[in-house]
Amino acid sequence: DAGITQSPRYKITETGRQVTLMCHQTWSHSYMFWYRQDLGHGLRLIYYSAAADITDKGEVPDGYVVSRSKTENFPLTLESATRSQTSVYFCASSETGQGAGEQYFGPGTRLTVT
Amino acid sequence: SQQGEEDPQALSIQEGENATMNCSYKTSINNLQWYRQNSGRGLVHLILIRSNEREKHSGRLRVTLDTSKKSSSLLITASRAADTASYFCATDPRSDAGNMLTFGGGTRLMVKP
């Protein structure tokens, strides 16, 4: 399917477990982003990537790790999940740099940490 | 920290009425964007307005930008039930810290049929 997809769509995990959220885009966009969405905070940027093998921190990177070995994939890993990481996670991609143009969002992953 | 703040937080109107949402931000920007989010879905880009533009139209959408007041408004004319969604402004601030797109908390719009 064309576009940007995320998997899984829903995930329940326990505190301390490692969790990886997947993001895949078919447009060959250079830029990819991970956001979390929480009530009262809107969307906050976790990490972003300008190209394969280039990543940088966003506003709330602590507790998360990213990698980008291929242009089309941008996985987000929670190395040791905490309850505060319960949230909805959105992946996005863009042809141009941060903020320079529109971003295309995936459907989101709802993560619950118990 | 949120660069943009939307007002009101929630808005309920009848179908056919106009809906106006406002966004205020704190620092100078390169551009400002508006996004829509339907319940349980990802965000969809609506419109981008650059700092040197004052008004922009797209179909039933009209966006204004006042950089002197650091504010923007989104007007949806002749609203439809399908316009029911959350609307977010996102700013691309001019900053030495990096070119990060930051989102406000959103306005929840309900259009009653």
Which amino acid type is present at position A40? G
Mean pLDDT of A22-37: 94
Cβ pair B100:A42 closer than 8 A? no
Cβ pair B101:A99 closer than 8 A? yes
- For the segment A78-91, what is each residue's pLDDT rounded down to a tens digit? 999 999 999 999 99
- For the segment A30-57, what is each residue's pLDDT rounded down to a tens digit? 999 999 999 867 899 999 998 999 999 9
- Percentage of the residues of chain B whose pLDDT score is greater than 90: 74
Nearest CA in chain B to A96: B99
For the CA atoms of A95, A98, A104, A109, the dihedral, rounded to the nearest 10 degrees, stands at: 130
- Give the model's confidence band at A100: pLDDT under 50 very low, under 70 low, under 90 confident, else very high: low
Locate the domains of chain B by residue range: 4-112
| Beta pairing, strands A54-57 & A4-7 | unpaired
Cβ pair B99:A42 closer than 8 A? no
Domain B4-112 has CATH 2.60.40.10: yes
- For the segment B38-89, what is each residue's pLDDT rounded down to a tens digit? 998 999 999 999 999 999 999 999 999 999 999 999 999 999 999 999 999 9
Mean pLDDT of B26-39: 92
- Give the model's confidence band at B99: pLDDT under 50 very low, under 70 low, under 90 confident, else very high: low
The pLDDT score that the predictor gives to residue B94 is 67
CATH superfamily of domain region A4-113: Immunoglobulins (2.60.40.10)
Residue with the larger pLDDT of the pair B2 and A104: A104
- Contacts from A63-71 at CB under 8 Å and sequence distance 24+? A64/A34, A66/A34, A68/A32, A71/A28, A71/A29, A71/A30
Classify residue A73 by its DSSP letter.
B
Residues of B in contact with A87 (CB under 8 A): none
Tokens encoding A68: 């980008």
The pLDDT score that the predictor gives to residue A41 is 72
Question: Which residues lie below 8 Å from residue B81, measured CB to CB, with a gap of 6+?
Answer: B15, B111, B112, B113
- Give the model's confidence band at B93: pLDDT under 50 very low, under 70 low, under 90 confident, else very high: confident
Residues of B in contact with A100 (CB under 8 A): 30-31, 92, 99
Q: What is the mean pLDDT of chain A?
A: 92
Of A45, A56, A102, the CB nearest to B33: A102
Classify residue B70 by its DSSP letter.
T
